[in-house]
Structure 1
Amino acid sequence: MASIRKEISIAAEPADVWDAVRDVGNIHVRLVPGFVTDCRLEGDDRIVTFANGLVVREPIVDIDDDQRRLAWAAVAEQFRHYNASVQVFAEGADRTRLVWIADLLPNELEETVQSMIEQGLAVMKQTLER
């Protein structure tokens, strides 16, 4: 199983970063605009449309306000397995470390998914530091 772990430092208050991350139905507006072009909720799932045209159903597994951790899965034809989480850590009052972890099968998708995560993190950082 491929396992990807990426983290970034964001010049923004941890509470503000977490508020945007936990707003799971509005990531296309508050978190990764342009990278995600549409997001809508259907029950406990979000349907995410990426700028590259990929559409993925993402069941939300957990929103943990105490740990500031969001976990989700992805249901798409290309994945046999996909689960991910984003966790927000304080680095002082006005700085945040965000950690994104994804585990997936088949392994051959690791490079593609890693590239998308890196793009998403870059947009996230730019958006949250505004």
Structure 2
Amino acid sequence: MATIYKEFIVEADVAQVWDALRDFGAVHTRLAPGFLTGCRLDGTGARIVSFANGLVAREMLVGIDDANRRLAYTVTDGKASHHHASAQVFAQGEGRACFVWITDVLPDALAAYIEPMMVQGGQAMKAALEGQSATVAPLA
């Protein structure tokens, strides 16, 4: 199983970062605008997200852990036989947070497609959480 690990520092209060991350239905406006162009809840605990590159995915919420500021989800359609992701934020002093995003996927070959999307997603999240606008270049 391929594991993709992304970590970045956000120049924002950890509570503010967690509030945006845990807002499962507003990921396209609060967490990763530009990278995600749409999101709708489907009434079964899942969200349908639209990406700037045209991809659409159904992400089922696995859990929200407020005590540890961790959210987990899985993609339930598409080419992966297994997909599980989690995102967690940690305090890094006053006004700073560490954002950790991990995805496990099978088959391993899909990591080559998912990893660049996670790089772009991380850039969009950092910009949005720091109050900046991000430009998302289309993936080739």
TM-score by length of 2: 0.91
Superposition RMSD in Å: 0.7
2:102 is aligned with what amino acid? I
Q: Which runs of 5+ in 2 are unaligned?
A: 132-140
Q: How does 1:66-85 map to 2 (within 5 A)?
A: 66-85=67-86
Is the deviation greater in 73-82 or in 8-17? Answer: 73-82
In the other structure, the counterpart of 2:138 is none
The CA distance in 2 between the partners of 1:70 and 1:30, in whole Å, is 15
In the other structure, the counterpart of 2:16 is 16
1:112 CA displacement: 1.1
SS at match of 2:90: strand
Q: How many residues align?
A: 130
The CA distance in 1 between the partners of 2:48 and 2:128, in whole Å, is 21
Identity of aligned residues (%): 52
Q: Which runs of 5+ in 1 are unaligned?
A: none
The CA distance in 1 between the partners of 2:120 and 2:64, in whole Å, is 23
1:53 is aligned with what amino acid? G
The CA distance in 1 between the partners of 2:59 and 2:12, in whole Å, is 27
1:33 is aligned with what amino acid? P
SS at match of 1:20: helix
1:76 CA displacement: 2.1
TM-score by length of 1: 0.98
The CA distance in 2 between the partners of 1:14 and 1:77, in whole Å, is 33
The CA distance in 1 between the partners of 2:76 and 2:36, in whole Å, is 17
Q: How does 1:12-91 map to 2 (within 5 A)?
A: 12-43=12-43, 44-91=45-92
